[in-house]
Structure 1
Amino acid sequence: MALTVLSIALVIATLGFQNALPREVAFYREREPSRVRDLISTALVIVAVNSLIWTAILFLEAGNISQVFKDARLAHALRIVVFALPFWALTAVIISISRGFGRVREQVYFQNIVYPTVFMLFVVVGAFLKLPSAFVFGAYVATQVLTLLVLAFSAWRIKLFEFRVSLNLRLGSKLLKLSVPLMLEGIAGFVMRWTDTLMLGYYRTSEVVGLYNAATPIVRVLPLFLNSVGIIYPSLAAILYAQGKTTELSEYIN
């Protein structure tokens, strides 16, 4: 249940940048390449600050959230996993930026391979050593930290973009105008995907939620191949639009 709450916070912490950045990065690469660096830096700063704010809010309100779901244990779990939020949010944003450069390697390797593999190794070690359940929550935080560090190192090594701290308010406001509606769309999509889990958490126990969430990923594998095509679509469409190739864009859509 704690991870479900954290997933909701991720949607808000990233402000819809996960969907907006692939389009914006691809667009600026074609129209104004000199501003791509400022766009990326601004996005990273905004998400870092916003995710830290929501980390503090969730940590302080963990008790009240646990009362909503009538599970006192949720507060303890949430106060641990909440520290993964900034790292998870920045990982998501960097992956979105890489998609703006027409790359899917970062999403496939770091989101779909590195993260689940490292977390599984932590869980196996914890089970073998018979460590308490709190270890799993700590392992989740450690996994998000390691994933971000490895991803950042990979992006730096291949010089995908430069890491620097700068905030362009004009670019930031423009990006927010585009991304906030996408964030609302993301929240709506999240509600559609996770209403069953939230309802189970409210009416039943955490054990039931855990069993249910162990089964549902099997079903979510079905649209995997369709979604893999959709990952690269926004950046390619933005490039064609920026180049004024509306005919090719229409053919691409159809």
Structure 2
Amino acid sequence: MVARERELSALLSSAAIVMVGGIIGSGATLAERVVIGRLLSPDAYGEISVGLALLNVGVTVALVGCTQGVSRYIPRYDAVEDRRGVWISGLLVTTVSSVCLSAVLFLFADPIVSGLFETEAAVPLVRLLAVAIPFVACFRIAVAGIRGHENTIYRTLTRNLLDPLLRIGLLTVLLLSGVGIAAAGVAYLGGAIVTLVVAHAFLSRLMPLRGRYRTHVPELLRFSAPLVVSTVISILLTRTDTLMLGYFRSSYEVGMYDAAYPIAGGLLVVLSAFGFLYLPLVSRLDDDGDRDAVDEIYATTTKWVYVVTFPAFLLLVVFPLDVIHLVFGTAYTDAARVLPILATGFFLSAAAGRNRETLSALGSTTWIAVGNVVGLLLNIGINVALIPRYGAVGAAVASVTSLVAVHTVICSVLAVRYDITPISPEALRCYVALPAVLLPLAFALSPWLSITVVTIGPVLVGVGLASLVVAGLVGGLESNDVVVLDLLEDAAGVSVPMLRRWIPSSGDEDLDAKSPN
């Protein structure tokens, strides 16, 4: 029990550090969208959204799965010649693939624009984003090398701070100068070039980049190539809605959808924070044959992702119009129709926990691909059926349905094959009680409460405290939760004795297990 608490404490401590960077990065990404949305019309914002969706898909294809390969193989070698060779191998593969893809997008920009965009002004945007693909892809390889050295600080500085902040600065200056939608292309290209240089400067502090090297291209490709399909499918799951909206409907509707999407996507910040150490930790526990510990850590972390994320979910579902007006302004009022739908989908994703990483650690990566394929096919089918008639609302329904399908497949495999689930009796009480108690109360109070710059902080804190109280009152806390409480108290510098009384000790649980029913 002590060993498991120590593992959980290390995971939570890492998650807290990474979550700070994730919150900053998500905030910066949202700020970038806000700058575009407030300085341009909703139609122009929609055009840029389609362009950025193309960029994301292009970079994902160009990387050929090499980011995971570089991060995996660098720590496996002691010799600097091999570590340097892994990084160089990643750069070689990525440079060749990204330059080829960039050339195709650049040359076929006109037909792409005629199919997905509403104005010929998007041609320069697509061509600039095409040129940016090799720089963004090579920057990601540098970050993968930094991750391979298990350095969270340099990764956070480059990926979560420098990259988005550079783009925001360039976008603001260019849009205020009247450049138009092409400003996004210039900002992404300029930001990627600078960040590429800085990321490699940081990487050079972890290993010398000049010197002898042994390349590992075949080894890297053998590991990375199978990941291409699942990685591309994953990114298509998040961007197909935008691309199909651009094809079937107007840029205005794309703008409404992509105003709500990044706000709802912020619900995954807490879940993402557990990703840095979760996979290696669970892999080690499985290698030791301790499946019970895997189940316990998966259930505990998932429950707390749910509890911590719930206040933001409540805010987006009960006050969608206030949130949209606060972030993007009154020109994006129609986005409030899709925000609660998307928020539900992302919240359910958070409630499933790190199920993909858990299944990966157990060696069943094929089922992850199966889940993603099922989700993508469902997504495309529902989009084709609903977008022509219902527009952005139809796209949101497709997104939620596909996300639920993916997590249903993966969680079912974990439960049936490995008897691992995110649902303990205590967690189930939390999952049911929080929305059952707090959502009706929030809806009842909503006519007398509005979300503004002044009220949003107190409302989130109030709902967060109420969530902890409800979890305690319904018996949703268990002995492992003392590790979480210790971390929260250390971070806040305050003691929460009332909540600690609701956490049973390990001895109490053992007695309960031995006592007759």
Alignment TM class, shorter chain as reference: 0.7 to 0.9
Q: Deviation of residue 214 (structure 1)?
A: 2.8
Q: Does structure 2 retain, via aligned residues, the 8 Å contact 1:45–1:166?
A: no
Change (3 A) 1:212 1:11: same
Q: Which residue of 1 aligns with 2:95?
A: 48
Task: Return the letter of the residue paired with 2:195.
Answer: T
Q: Does structure 2 retain, via aligned residues, the 8 Å contact 1:102–1:235?
A: no
Q: Does structure 1 retain, via aligned residues, the 8 Å contact 2:68–2:224?
A: yes
What is the TM-score of this pair, normalised by structure 2?
0.43
1:247 aligned to 281, 288, 292, which one? Answer: 288
1:212 aligned to 253, 257, 262, which one? Answer: 257
Q: How does 1:54-65 map to 2 (within 5 A)?
A: 54-65=101-112
Sequence identity percentage: 24
- Tell me if 1:135 matches 2:183: yes
Change (3 A) 1:172 1:114: same
Q: Deviation of residue 125 (structure 1)?
A: 1.6
Deviations 1:143-194 (A, max 9, x none): 11111112122222x24341569773xx212211111111111111112111
For 2:218 and 2:141, the matched residues in 1 are separated by: 17
Change (3 A) 1:33 1:137: closer
Q: Which residue of 2 aligns with 1:10?
A: 59
Task: Return the letter of the residue paired with 1:123.
Answer: L
- Tell me if 1:22 matches 2:63: no
Task: Return the letter of the residue paired with 1:200.
Answer: L
For 1:47 and 1:75, the matched residues in 2 are separated by: 25
Q: Deviation of residue 141 (structure 1)?
A: 1.0
Task: Return the letter of the residue paired with 2:239.
Answer: W
Deviations 1:62-109 (A, max 9, x none): 122223325444333111121111110011111112111112223322
Q: Which residue of 1 aligns with 2:32?
A: none
Q: Report which stretch shifted further, 82-91 or 147-156.
A: 147-156
Change (3 A) 1:226 1:252: farther
Q: Count residues in correspondence.
A: 245
Q: Does structure 2 retain, via aligned residues, the 8 Å contact 1:237–1:249?
A: no
State the structure with bigger RCO (CA 8 A, min sep 6), 1 or 2. Answer: 1
Q: Name the larger-Rg structure.
A: 2
For 2:110 and 2:104, the matched residues in 1 are separated by: 11
Q: Which residue of 2 aligns with 1:191?
A: 236
Change (3 A) 1:228 1:100: same
Q: Secondary structure at the match of 2:132?
A: helix
Q: Does structure 1 retain, via aligned residues, the 8 Å contact 2:84–2:214?
A: no
Change (3 A) 1:154 1:14: same
For 1:183 and 1:104, the matched residues in 2 are separated by: 25
- Tell me if 1:123 matches 2:171: yes
- Tell me if 1:181 matches 2:226: yes
Q: Deviation of residue 16 (structure 1)?
A: 0.5
Q: Secondary structure at the match of 2:274?
A: helix
2:160 aligned to 112, 115, 130, which one? Answer: 112
Q: Report which stretch shifted further, 217-226 or 132-141.
A: 132-141
2:83 aligned to 27, 36, 61, which one? Answer: 36
Q: Report which stretch shifted further, 71-80 or 90-99.
A: 71-80
Q: Secondary structure at the match of 2:207?
A: coil
Q: Does structure 2 retain, via aligned residues, the 8 Å contact 1:91–1:147?
A: yes
For 1:114 and 1:121, the matched residues in 2 are separated by: 11
Task: Return the letter of the residue paired with 2:259.
Answer: A
Q: Which residue of 2 aligns with 1:86?
A: 134
Q: For structure 2, which runs of at least 5 residues remain unmatched after alignment? A: 1-49, 296-517
Q: Which residue of 1 aligns with 2:268?
A: 223
Change (3 A) 1:127 1:65: closer
Q: Report which stretch shifted further, 190-199 or 69-78.
A: 69-78
What is the TM-score of this pair, normalised by structure 1?
0.84
Q: Does structure 1 retain, via aligned residues, the 8 Å contact 2:146–2:206?
A: no
1:172 aligned to 197, 217, 221, which one? Answer: 217
Change (3 A) 1:132 1:66: closer
Q: Deviation of residue 39 (structure 1)?
A: 1.5
